[in-house]
Structures are given as C-alpha cells and as structure tokens.
Amino acid sequence: MAEILSIVSSSNEPAYNLAAEEYLLRSKVEDYHFYYINRPSVIIGKHQNALSEINLNYLQANKISLFRRLSGGGTVYHDFGNINFCFIKNGKAGDLVNFKKATAPIVEVLNQWGLKVKHGERNDLLLNYKKISGNACHVFKQRVMHHGTILYDSDITALTACLRNDPTRFRDKAVKSVKSEVINIKGLLKSDKSADEFLKDLVDSINKNDSAIIPYQFSPEEEAQIIEIQKTKFDTPEWNYRYGPPYIFKKRSVLSGFTILVEMKIEKGKIVEFSIKDNYPDKSISEQIIALLTGLAHERDEIERSLKAIEAKLGISAAELSTLFF
C-alpha cells in the first residue's frame, strides 16, 4: 500500500493554501492529505465569472478577499470556522475521479462521531438533507486532487451575504453556482472545541483509521516553491478576477434623477466594448466616460481612479459614479 503524507497547514492565507495544493498536485509524486483553515474569503471555481458570483459591495465593506482555485465547480465561503481538506493521489486514466471514494475518510470519521453523513447528488456531503461539505476535483496527468470544505462553525450570515448577487446583470457561459441549504456541525456534535481543535481531532482520527498515513511537514525548499506560486498566480488579479470567460454586463441605474443604461463587453477581465444610453442633456459626458474606461480592467478600484478625472465636472464622486458599472 502506498504511503500517504499528511500535512496540516500552518497558514490561514487562502492564496498560500491554494498554491500548496497546486504544488503538491503538479510538482510532487507522492499521495497527500492536506488540511487548512483560511481567513474569511470567497473561493470561486476555475471557470466562473468572479463578479457574477459575489456581492462585491459586501466583500469590500468587510475586507473579504476573493480567490480562484484550480478546480471547477461553484463558489464557496471560507472562514476560521470552516475546515478544508485536499486529498491527492496517483491513479489510472478513467479511474481518477470518484468523489464517494475520495471523501470516504471524512465520512467514516463523522459517522464514528455519531453524525449520519450521506453523499449528495452534487458531490457534496449532507446531514439531515442539509449541506455540510462542498467538493470539487482537478486531474493532472495521472494524478487527481479532490478537495472540499466542512462547515464546522462558519459564519452562515456572512456566507449568505457574500454569495448574494444579481445574475441578471451578467450574460456569459461561465459555470454557475447552485444554491444549497447549509448547516454547521459543531452544534450537532455538542462540541465546545474550536475549529483548530476539531481539525486536529479529525486528522488524528483519519490517520488512526489508515496505517498508510504518515504525518509530514513542508521543508524550507518546498515552502519557497509554494510561496513563489502564491505570488505569481494565486495572489494576482490576472488569475483571480481576469481569468474567467468573456461576459456581457448590463445595468440600468438612476443617478441624480437621470436614467442610465450601461452595457459592457468584457474579455480577459478588460472592457473591450462599451455603450451608455441616458437622458442626460450633455451627451459629451457619456463619450468621456466611454473613452476613459474602455480598455481598463472591470475592477472597481481601477475604474474609480479613472472617473476622478470628471467627478468635479459632474458634481458626483468617482465612488458613486463607479456604482453604475458593478
């Protein structure tokens, strides 16, 4: 039986932990179990449109960052009450993806603890017909990564607020998230343990159930390689916001008593086509805005900076003007 190296991350940084997953999958040859807890963040699937999945105002007001992961699937919310697991193994083509088999170590331990967890139809784990774990996977050559979440003591209010959006403003072929009713398991376990303590118990129990598992820590050289992937990929707007598929953004707004209809075509995260229809008497304003914003990234900070050039003329702040485009 092949050894499985078990690692518990010492970092709460989402970009670091996502980079570690990619490093273990693509740069190593052993089988791994990798566990971590992230600070509050939103993690979107590889093929999703970031802005159509999130409540951007809520994320920015609460300083919650967005990251894109390597696997497909829907958007999830992470925080200090959410456990993340990543199981990487070698296999044969055509027999790599098996969510039921991959999550068996998690299900076995939770069942031992008295929770009657079942597999759902969307590769998730359910308890009392409510979702406690979302899962996704990514195949690289003859290796597969299955990873997922466990809602232990997550902030459900923040989770719901982060993922509340208006999909009618976006037209694209991106993968859409499917909403599910969720539940934390801490109360069901009647536990007063922290998420870190729960994670330790979970890892210890999984390791005890499988004699092939060996605890492992990253070497300084491995840490350096992971940090390089973090800096060049998972901490960049090019990957997190601009990687997704092309989309059309449309929004009708009323600003200072005037009705404004904005339509933008976005490719590789940048505005490539732009039209504004309004009943503002000075049509040159719309022309100036189009000239200012075409070619920019569809990101609030960048658009707000550009709009400062005309805020004095309009008597409207750049921050308020920027709401027309999100």
Lowest mean pLDDT among 77-81, 104-108, 308-312: 308-312
CA pair distance 214, 207, nearest whole angstrom: 8
Average pLDDT value for residue range 20-35: 98
Where do the domains of the chain lie, and which CATH numbers do they carry? 4-237 (3.30.930.10), 247-325 (3.30.390.50)
What backbone phi and psi angles, to 5 degrees, belong to 218? -65, 140
Q: What is the mean pLDDT of residues 126-147?
A: 96
Q: pTM for the complete prediction?
A: 0.90
- Least confident range from 126-135, 136-145, 177-186: namely 177-186
Q: At what angle do helices 284-293 and 300-314 cross, to 10 degrees?
A: 150
Q: Does the pLDDT value for residue 178 go beyond 70?
A: no
Check residue 258 and give its pLDDT: 86
Q: Under the phi-then-psi rule, with left for phi > 0, alpha for psi from -120 to 50, and beta for the rest, what region is 123?
A: left
Between 242 and 179, residue with greater pLDDT = 242
Q: In what order do the strands lie in the sheet with 31-36?
A: 135-140, 143-151, 82-90, 31-36, 4-8, 213-215
Q: Are 278 and 261 in contact (CB under 8 A)?
A: yes
Q: How far apart are CA 260 and CA 324, in angstroms?
A: 8
Q: What is the pLDDT of residue 281?
A: 78
Which are the contacts of 56, defined by CB distance < 8 A and separation ≥ 6?
Answer: 300, 326
Which of 41, 49, 43 has the alpha carbon at shortest distance from 21? Answer: 43
Q: Are 78 and 195 in contact (CB under 8 A)?
A: no
pLDDT score of 171: 79
Share of the chain above pLDDT 90, in %: 82
Average pLDDT over all residues of the chain: 93
- 298 Rama class: left (phi>0) / alpha (psi -120 to 50) / beta: beta
Report the run of H or E that residue 318 belongs to, with start and end: helix 318-322
Cα separation, 9 vs 37, whole angstroms? 8
Tokens of 116: 């009657």
Structure tokens at 106: 């998690």
- What per-residue confidence (pLDDT) applies to 177? 64
Q: How far apart, in Å, are the Cα atoms of 118 and each of 127, 135, 180, 309?
A: 6, 13, 15, 56
Q: Could you report the per-residue pLDDT of 90-132, keeping only the tens digit for each?
A: 999 888 999 999 999 999 999 999 999 999 888 899 999 999 9
pLDDT at 65 over 90: yes
Is the pLDDT reported for residue 175 higher than 70? no
Q: State CA 22 to chain mean position distance.
A: 15
Q: Assign residue 249 a region: left if phi > 0, alpha if psi is -120 to 50, beta otherwise?
A: beta
- Kindly state the percentage of the chain with pLDDT values over 70: 97
pLDDT of residue 71: 97
Per-residue pLDDT at 235: 98
pLDDT at 176 over 70: no
The type of residue at 210 is: D
- Whether 216 and 135 have beta carbons less than 8 Å apart is answered as no
Structure confidence at residue 15 (pLDDT): 98
Q: State pLDDT tens for residues 234-283.
A: 999 999 999 988 999 999 999 888 899 999 999 999 999 999 998 887 88
Cα–Cα distance between 82 and 38 in angstroms, integer? 8
Lookup result for tokens 């086509």: 273
